[in-house]
Homo-oligomer: A and B are copies of this chain.
Amino acid sequence: MEISPIGYVKNSVEEDTDFEDIVSEIVVLPEFAEGLYRIEESDELDIIFLFDRSQSYKMMVHPHHDPSQPEVGVFASRSPKRPNFLGLTRVKLLRREGNVLIVKGLDAFDRTPIIDIKPARRRDQTGKNHK
């Protein structure tokens, strides 16, 4: 199956860091911008993106890239070296400016392709997920 980006990441991060407080922009391509209508009603989003720096995957990995930790299977980890190369992160939506989402906590490098955006939770309710 074919997938293609609906947008891309804009930040200044080019290598691994603590992403928790990093603010990134998600620039949504103009042809998909209409799909953002009323997204501001969600305070958290699930972002699916492509690990485009990964060239191959492994069946077993050391957690947190730490060779002193015993290996686990790739599906028991969130390693970028995984089949299909998809990353997933729940981020805070700070605000929207047209076709650009300003989010906090996205652990993706500058220019990372964005594959999907889903609401985790509506602003008007808390503690419960909504579909």
Q: Which residues of A contact B (CB under 8 A)?
A: 1-4, 6, 28, 32, 34-39, 41-42, 46, 48, 50, 59-60, 64, 71-78, 82-86, 88, 90, 107, 113, 115-119, 129, 131
Contact = CB atoms under 8 A, between A and B. Distances in A.
B37 A72 contact: yes
Taking chain A's interface residues, is the majority helix, strand, or loop, or is none over half, making it mixed? Answer: mixed
A82 B46 CA distance: 14
A32 B88 contact: no
Q: How many copies are assembled?
A: 2
A93 to B, nearest CB: 10
9 contacts: A2-B2, A6-B83, A35-B74, A39-B73, A39-B75, A48-B84, A78-B118, A88-B88, A107-B131
